[in-house]
Amino acid sequence: MPDVTGIDKTFDYVVPDAWAAANKARVQVGSIVRFDLGGRRLRGWVVANDVEPAAGVKLRALTKVTGYGPPADVVDLTEWAARRWVGHRSRLLVAASPAKAITRLPPVRPHKRLGEQAADVERAFSVDRAVVRLAPRGESLPYGLAAARRGNALILVPNAQRATWLSRKLANEGAAVAQLPGGYARALAGATVVGGRSAAWAPVADLAAVVVFDEHDEVYQDERTPTWNARDVAIERARRAGVPCVLVSPSPSLEALEWGELFAPERSVERAGWPRVEVIDRRNDDKARTGLFSDAVVRAVRDDGPVVLVLNRKGRARLLACSGCGEMAWCDECSRALIQQDDDHLHCTSCGKTRPVVCEHCGGSVFKRIRMGVGRAREELEALAGRPVVEVTGADDDDADWGDADVFVGTEAVLHRVKKAKTVVFLDFDQELAGLRYRASEQAFGLLVRAARLLGNRADGGRLLVQTRKPEHEVLTAAVRSDPATLVDAERTRRQTLTLPPYAAMATISGAGGPEFVATLPADPTVSLLGPLDDRWLVKAPDHETLSDYLLAGERPTARLRVEVDPLRV
């Protein structure tokens, strides 16, 4: 298969007789080779061996063996994934290949004897499908060790810093570890593999167990097409190998909970693992006097730090609050925020419902648009705090030096850049709760989990302050109670009622070739095709198998086409 965008087919070649025996032996399924095609010398992968060419066809010879590529089981997995996410297989093979050519393997380093694990950890590996719910700062190392005790394991983590930490911890305990992407050759030779999203495709000889930490994190999904998800790839690898798969998260997704058996800690243990969460109800505040900052927030920024304030404002805010009572304008059908399109109506961009410009709480007819960006917030906070405030965004380096500053304000990136805090404040959490996405509640709770990790356990004394005009929302109730199950119960009912994932499979279609592609899709009474809206179509099917069959039946146009399976922002 050529490593060329747009060519999604295979070509037959022959191994030259003149090659030495060593070179011939290296041509196996997964090997990266060079060959001539259409007047160009290209790179590609061997995806099958000992094939029979068409009668009368004289095969060209390969020109070079570049080195090792993904093993045969991973090559086979890319064929499954190309169908599952309706995309080009070559792009998945790129993700599964080493960044640099590998022509020799290091010696195998066997695992040393690892110590015994606690019984509750071992129970998670006693079933094929386990979902472990831990507190935000819960101990993850025991699950990595339990996987490595079984042999060569595949362990996914959401970021490079955590991969480095876990790799060192496992190595110190005696495990043979290969951290990807740099440890690809060691992984091929045989080791427990630790890495981020791309490590889902890593070579793991004699796979013995799979663990995915923070399975809820969206970083596991590649937003380029095909939009594969590392968690789902890891699950399929475990299924094919017949080994246990353990998903670990403080906030397991509904997809995970529908897939496996839940293992949760005792309530007292889980509560102790969360910081104190305080919800600040802004509906009754004097908005003309306090603006974005309540009295509780002003006291927090004047207190000892570090203090982290989150204002996840991107572009223009469209949240509306009643000028009389402060109640948010919410849709009573789908619990999403309403926007004001004209003088007479409030509109829900999620379900399309409209209603008069009247507050359902107090009957008021005047609404206030809530706006403030991070830059303006920093200026006002400096005046309130009487000391420097650092603005942090995604453009800042992970290792930026902020000197003695101990007050930070920024988008959600601040939760990743700052390593520890005494107080974390969400200045406008309603923006997260009212997100025009079906996963908005899960995503909002994920931000609270991230903040809780900066603060530590309840005994550490940290405080998580959340400003809102929707204090009874299930996301906030779950955080105050330190009980993610509160959110899960409400979210499951909502998704089932609206037939949303994981109780359906979805995809979006966009791009210049979208209209031509949609016109060729077959009629199927089990599949809903909605749109276009903003030049995008939404496809809903009862399951992924039906969705793949439906989308693969369409004829690919020559114009640009984007098919996004499992879209994150719908």
DSSP 293-359: --HHHHHHHHSSS-EEEE----S----EEETTT--B-B-TTT--B-EE-SSSEEE-TTT--EEES--
Task: List Cβ neighbours of 51 (8 Å cut-off, separation of 6 or more).
Answer: 12
Write out pLDDT tens, residues 326-352. Answer: 787 888 777 777 877 666 788 886 777
CA–CA separation, 566 and 228 (whole Å): 8
pLDDT of residue 483: 96
Report residue 541 as tokens: 């099917």
pLDDT of residue 210: 98
* Predicted model pTM: 0.88
CA–CA separation, 197 and 206 (whole Å): 20
Write out pLDDT tens, residues 74-129. Answer: 999 999 999 999 999 999 999 999 999 999 999 988 777 777 778 889 999 999 99
Residue with tokens 């090559």: 75
pLDDT of residue 371: 59
Stretches where the chain sits below pLDDT 50 are: 288, 314-317
Give the DSSP H/E element, type plus range, for residue 462: none
Q: Is 61 helix (H, G, I), strand (E, B) or coil?
A: strand
Other beta carbons within 10 angstroms of residue 330's beta carbon come to 22
CA–CA separation, 46 and 33 (whole Å): 7
* Burial call 69-78: b when 16+ CB within 10 Å, e when fewer: bbbebbbbbb
pLDDT of residue 269: 93
- Going by the DSSP 8-state scheme, the letter that residue 234 receives in this structure is H
pLDDT of residue 314: 42
CATH of 21-95 among 3.40.50.720, 3.30.365.10, 3.40.640.10, 3.40.1440.60: 3.40.1440.60
Report residue 366 as tokens: 């005047």
Assign domain 274-317+370-495 to its CATH architecture: 3-Layer(aba) Sandwich (3.40)
Q: For residues 270 and 264, is the Cβ–Cβ distance under 8 A?
A: yes
Q: Are strands 207-213 and 505-510 parallel, antiparallel or unpaired?
A: unpaired
pLDDT of residue 372: 65
Q: Three-class SS string for 275-290? A: CEEEEEECCCCCHHHH
Write out pLDDT tens, residues 2-16. Answer: 999 878 899 999 999
Cis peptide before 107 (omega within 30 of 0): no
Q: For residues 517 and 484, is the Cβ–Cβ distance under 8 A?
A: no
CATH number of 119-265: 3.40.50.300
Residue with tokens 């009668």: 55
Q: Give the 3-state secondary structure percentages of the chain, helix then strand then coil, rounded to 5.
A: 30, 20, 50
CA–CA separation, 491 and 485 (whole Å): 10
Q: Are strands 463-468 and 276-281 parallel, antiparallel or unpaired?
A: parallel
Report residue 257 as tokens: 């909970």
pLDDT of residue 343: 66
pLDDT of residue 319: 64
pLDDT of residue 287: 56
pLDDT of residue 324: 82
Secondary structure E strands in 432-504: 463-468
- Beta partners for residue 61, in sequence order: 14
CA–CA separation, 277 and 344 (whole Å): 38
Check for a shared fold between 119-265 and 274-317+370-495: yes
Give the DSSP H/E element, type plus range, for residue 426: strand 423-426
Secondary structure E strands in 68-200: 129-133, 152-156, 177-179, 192-195
Q: Is 229 helix (H, G, I), strand (E, B) or coil?
A: strand
CA–CA separation, 500 and 253 (whole Å): 13
pLDDT of residue 316: 33
The domain limits of the chain are: 21-95, 119-265, 274-317+370-495, 505-565
Report residue 304 as tokens: 């000892």
